[in-house]
Every structure is written in structure tokens, then in C-alpha cells.
Structure 1
């Protein structure tokens, strides 16, 4: 059956039936690690990454041969409130820049040999201004999630999430505030560079949006997404869920992609076990968001661009971890004495 018309109840059912990790594949990785020509544990977190890949690919010798960066672009009615340093037209202009190969993510995908797909989500029809009305009707939100699920097709063995959308750090802050509580100010940061009065306005807009929905921690997660989310966030939520069902590990990028992950985390704390947080961004509340989801970012490079750029850099490290594990000789193969 096509997923194009799945209502929220069917998505909830998928969350309830998510497959778990393949622990036999993990055991095989651990056994091989003891035989590789290096001291035990000497590659540190690279070894953890190989176990994570094995668990979610279901492969005793995991590999990354078809990595994909999936960038979703959406526009937001709330951008008209002046919460961004850039006008809403920049979203479409940057999508064109992606297509022309001129963006940062294009260069990183070339450097790390990653596939890149950009999904433009009805940019001419921004979601509603969430400070005054709901972003979606349920059918529209569900259809957008289903689109994200279908975007996974193609045999990728590692998926990196990215996004583009003027105003979407405001939307992400509202989602985090609604899901995890605290004050709006806890979750609002400069985004593309707003400060002073514009930053105060951004805090006010997030407060208005969440109070309109009854206040923080009042709605179940899919309702938070419907009422406060954006199309790119809904699509990424769908992709994360589809990846779990298809045994594809996921690399989460920055603040906005983490908001998509948070929807599923609040449904079930195991829902992100197949995901890794690529980095902690320079957006002040990102570390707070990762902590709320019991995450452990791989990198801290002061990045805050979006586009999947942090995820792409992390993917390079993940590829290296897999290649090291699969390509290294064992002590026996190399004729090297192991410890007693």
C-alpha cells in the first residue's frame, strides 16, 4: 500500500513496531575487533561507530558504499514576522544554488564522496504563521511525512539529514519548547544572525506559538509537529522513521534536523537508536536539545550553517571507521604476535 495518505494513527503504529538492533552483527564486530592489529580500544569512538553501523545495517562487517545527504527545503509563514536576518526568497535561491553545485554542502559531498539529493517542498506555499494558526492540517502533515519516507528509496546504506528554510530555527525552537518545556528563551538563538530587538521578537513569537497550543508539554508529539512544524521538518521526521524500518543508519545534522528527531524521541525514547548526532552546532540551545534526547554528538566544530554540512563531515568519519574495521588485517593474517 502507498504511504502517501497515512494518517497519524498509522505513523504511531509504525513507531510501536520499530525493529531493534541486530545484536548478532554487533557481537561479530566485537569479536573481529579483538583480532585486529591494534591494541584493544585504541581507535576509541571509531570502534563504537562500527558497532552502531553493524547494529542498524544488520551486517557483521558493515560498510558505507552508498551514503546519501538528503536536504529538505521548506518555507515558513512565520518568517514574515521578521525573525530571520534573511528574506523568505533566499530559500528558493539557495535551492537553485544547490542545483548549480555552488553551496557548502556540494563541496563537502564531493570531498567525502557522498550522494546528494535536494527535495523542494512547495516553497511557493509557506506553512502558516505558527504564532497565530496551525502550520498544517493533519492530512497535509501526514502526506509530507510520507513524502520524507519515500525519499529514502534507492538503496542508501547511510543517510545524512539536511535542511534549508528561512525562519526554521524559530520553528525548531517552538517545537523544542513545546516538547521539552522550559521557557521560550531557553530554546531561541540567533539562527542566521538575528540579535537585539530582532532576537527579542523571535523569543516573543515562539512564546506566542506555544501558548496558542496550550503551553509547553501539553500536546502529543505528532500534534506538536502539525501545529508548529514546517514541511522540511515533517519530511525529515518521516525519513528517520522509514530508515528505522529499513535498517538504514541516520546522521542528524544541526538544530533544525534535531527538532525532527525530537518528535520521534518523544514518541518513544528508543526511536533514535539508529541515529547519531553529527555535531553540536553553535546555535546555543542545540546542546540542550541533544542532552534532552540523551545524545552524544560526534563533533564540535562551531558550525551553524545547516544544509546537512555537519552531517556530511561526520559521514566522512563514519566511512573511515567502517573502512578501517573491514580493511585492517588480523594478527594472524599479518603474522603479528598478539598479546597472551
Structure 2
């Protein structure tokens, strides 16, 4: 459900936002579009990414500050992560004028190769290693930091529950699965002995790059969430398998993870449950944004939720 390249090419806001940064001879060009519009910026000072949010904001106003704190910690642990770049006046976010204002955030460019799909088996193990190292680099936190999403809720993002706005043919399965998702999350959060921590929460193949001789590096750290390791792992495996339960992929991922950390309380049953939680959150987000292709997206996920 991406936006058109034409709309991005004619958009004035990214250029206005770019002018707020102390860069010499910057050049801006569209790079990718999905939830956000992504622009690559080349300047004398180096290569950067300008990330422009949709008008329907789904993150907290303090999300950039949370991203800065988390990525700083990740780099201090010896891992690669983008740096949030401040504006000329020291801010982290450029906000568009007018109602339903978009937000722009600049980050350093992480040079690397985007891995092809399907994700190679050996890289599934590498992604398991990266997941464990990110978890180890982030200490538990008894309270949710400002700007971080709340993973105790299946809707996750800073948006209301709009599942009832789905087409009538999908509402019943969405009601059933949403109710189950809340029950499963309540069970996890009430029984889990570990204290929650801030997690990437979208550590999927599209959000890592392979650096030359340095392994995998994490990118796109906007969806940080306060939750449990099992949830973060489930989201990653969901991203690898496109929501399919693949025992081989799970084994490969776990092999890598356990090279650095103990596996959390996550058996096959809980993993399947957390896959459903993930689908519910993404369907609710899609119903909020209502991008082109929504009908096909809902059909596909509703079919998966009936299995």
C-alpha cells in the first residue's frame, strides 16, 4: 500500500524540511515508500536518510527522542545503528505547517546490501544473533519510556481500535481474534517473570542491511515498543516467514539467538498466538491509514486469521 512516486516527486515538504539541517550542497531524491516516504540525501558531510511520516500520525510526539536514546545505546554496545541527526536549532523533528501535519526526521545512512527474498537460511541464523545482541544491549525497564509504543495492547500504535470499520464480511473474525489477542497478551504480561524492555519490534528482513564484512545492521528504528522479548522475536519470525509457521526457519533463528542469550518462554503455541496479535495490530493500522490496496490486504489477512 505505497504512495505514488509522482506524489512524492511533487511534494514540497521534504525540501522545506531539508533546509532546516546544516548540510552543505544537499541533494534530495526519493528512495522508497511504504508507511513512510523515504528520501536519500547526499551532501558534502555524507549520506543521510530523510524519513517523512504520513499525515495520520501513529507515533508519539516524542518518538524521535526515544529513537535517539535507543540507537545511542545500541551503538555504545558495539552494534551498528543509524544516528538521529539534529536540525540547525538542535531539534530532532521538523513538523509541517497546517492541520494533519507530517513530521520529518533525518538519520545517517547505513551503507549495506539489502538481502534478497526469500531470506537466505544462513541469514536467518544471523538475524537471530542480532536479535539476541539487541536484547542484551537494552536493559529492562519497569516503566514505559516516553515516545515508545505500548506492546501490552494489540493495537500497538498510537491510534484507536477501528476494527469495526472493516467490511462486514471480515468483522466477525476480527472481533474474535482481537478478543483472543487481548487475552493472550494479558496472560503473557501477567505471567512473564522478566521485566519489559524497549525493543525494536520490527526487526524483519526489510529492516536490516548486510554491511561489508561486518554482518547485519539494524535500520528503521521508529516502531520501538516497550514489551517482552518473546513478542519481539515473534514479530521478527513473522517478518521472515510472512506470517507462516515455518519450523525450519524458527529453528534457524533460535540457533543464532541462543549463541548470545537464553531463549525466552516462547513455545510453538505462544508463537502462533503472537503471530495473530501481530496481524491484528497491522490490520488495525491499515484500517486507520486506508491506503490504496486496502481491500486486498484485508482479504489476505482475514483469510489467514480464519486458519
TM-score (ref. length: structure 1): 0.26
Larger RCO: Structure 1 or Structure 2 (Cα < 8 Å, ≥ 6 residues apart)? 1
TM, length-normalised to structure 2: 0.28
Task: Tell me which protein shows more strand as a share of its residues.
Answer: 2
Specify which structure has the higher proportion of helix. Answer: 1
